[in-house]
């Protein structure tokens, strides 16, 4: 598909007003949180990207580089002719001390000779470069991002919505079915400003050379397919001790102990050992491999998460096992297949039944919007992991529960 250009304006703003022990070279504790967000974005399951935080003023900055590949057929059976690989760099800076709060973000796609820096303010409708394409004869579509943001005291509230303008026969429509609020009314603290809000706009961000990695194909598992993690599971924790050593754990404010992230199931083996196991997405809709559980030997095949080549689905364990290791179901167990077909993955305390982050994105307005939304969602859901440790603290990261994508 021609002229695919990515623009990734994910707003990542964190911090708080009190000064405490901070990371080396940082001025506010917000830098520590920013660094943890970068780690979450880097270790996010299925994401082949690396992110790093900014330890100088301002702390509200993050930079990433990575690669994505989307299969030639998406959930709706549209054939792109070949798989789409996009290698990219992007960065985000929040200018929260300006009189008119603004967000700078840049996107670099070397293979497309794309290098763009954009500054947006409240109530901005931004055209997404490269996402203008013909859907059918006489019908075209253009993707937009709509920004809303504002500051109250020491916090910033923001929203980002994907909108699509469809033009046909001289008419223009903005179908609500193609509209998706990627970030809805997020309210997060920000570092204090040393002086009153400045009317002088912040300087444009400095771009570095972009050398992103290339997409690496996932290898079929030849060993035990159940990847389990324990670490500090069950350890006492609080708002200052986040269980951050283990990316699959978060501090549950209800129990006060480190518990499995929503993307992981808590399991107990035959010896009584408890650990976290990545959730399998078998049979759920997908658009790309990163929406399935790669570390559990899953791939996106014809719009659904399936076991990768050389692996078969083990109904008893709900895992993908190397072929030949999965026992055949007993003849009298006729309900095994039927019961599993209706099963849903474990839903953590921050998820609701029927809502699934791997569902179909924005009505699938062909490849470009899919790629954009894919990168946004990977980053956004990595940020959402941080909410649970701050549920009863000053770092409350509130957001809607609408993780289901249209």
Number of domains the chain is built from: 1
Query: Quick one: pLDDT at residue 355?
Result: 27
Q: In this structure, is residue 50 part of a structural domain?
A: yes
Q: In this structure, is residue 72 part of a structural domain?
A: yes
Q: In this structure, is residue 293 part of a structural domain?
A: no
Q: In this structure, is residue 259 part of a structural domain?
A: no
Query: Quick one: pLDDT at residue 324?
Result: 65
Q: In this structure, is residue 145 part of a structural domain?
A: yes
Q: What is the pLDDT of residues 195-210, one digit of tens each?
A: 666 666 767 777 778 8
Q: In this structure, is residue 288 part of a structural domain?
A: no
Q: In this structure, is residue 132 part of a structural domain?
A: yes
Give the domain range for residue 95.
30-217+361-390
Residues of the chain scoring pLDDT < 50: 1-26, 45-46, 72-80, 219-227, 331-406
| Chain-centroid distance, C-alpha 1 | 24
Query: Quick one: pLDDT at residue 284?
Result: 80
Query: Quick one: pLDDT at residue 133?
Result: 66
Q: In this structure, is residue 77 part of a structural domain?
A: yes
Query: Quick one: pLDDT at residue 23?
Result: 36
């Amino acid at each position: 598909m021609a002229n695919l250009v990515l623009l990734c304006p994910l707003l990542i703003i964190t911090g708080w007003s009190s000064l405490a022990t901070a990371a080396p070279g940082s001025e506010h504790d917000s830098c520590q949180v920013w660094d943890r967000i970068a780690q979450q974005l880097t270790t996010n399951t299925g994401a082949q990207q690396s992110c790093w935080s900014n330890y100088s003023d301002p702390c509200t900055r993050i930079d990433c580089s990575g690669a994505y590949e989307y299969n030639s057929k998406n959930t709706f059976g549209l054939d792109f002719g070949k798989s789409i690989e996009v290698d990219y760099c992007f960065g985000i800076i929040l200018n929260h001390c300006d009189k008119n709060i603004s967000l700078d973000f840049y996107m670099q796609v070397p293979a497309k000779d794309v290098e763009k820096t954009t500054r947006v303010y409240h109530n901005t409708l931004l055209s997404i470069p490269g996402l203008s394409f013909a859907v059918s004869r006489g019908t075209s579509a253009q993707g937009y991002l709509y920004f809303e943001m504002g500051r109250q005291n020491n916090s910033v509230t923001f929203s980002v919505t994907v909108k699509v303008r469809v033009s046909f026969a001289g008419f223009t429509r903005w179908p609500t079915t193609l509209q998706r609020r990627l970030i809805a009314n997020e309210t997060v603290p920000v570092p204090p400003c040393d002086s009153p809000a400045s009317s002088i706009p912040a300087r444009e961000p400095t771009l570095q050379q972009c050398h992103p990695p290339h997409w690496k194909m996932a290898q079929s598992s030849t060993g035990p397919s159940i990847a389990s993690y324990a670490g500090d599971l069950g350890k006492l924790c609080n708002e200052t001790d986040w269980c951050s050593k283990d990316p699959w754990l978060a501090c549950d404010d209800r129990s006060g102990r480190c518990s499995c992230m929503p993307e992981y199931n808590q399991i107990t083996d035959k010896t009584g050992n408890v650990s976290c196991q990545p959730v399998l997405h078998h049979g759920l809709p997908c658009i790309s491999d990163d929406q399935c559980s790669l570390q559990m030997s899953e791939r996106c095949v014809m719009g659904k998460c399936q076991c990768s080549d050389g692996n078969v689905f083990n109904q008893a364990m709900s895992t993908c096992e190397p072929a030949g290791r999965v026992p055949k179901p007993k003849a009298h167990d006729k309900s095994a297949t039927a019961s599993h077909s209706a099963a849903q993955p474990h839903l953590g305390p921050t998820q609701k039944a029927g809502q699934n982050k791997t569902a179909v994105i924005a009505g699938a307005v062909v490849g470009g919007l899919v790629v954009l939304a894919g990168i946004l969602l990977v980053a956004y859901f990595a940020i959402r992991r941080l909410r649970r440790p701050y549920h009863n603290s000053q770092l409350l990261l509130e957001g809607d529960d609408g993780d289901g994508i249209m």
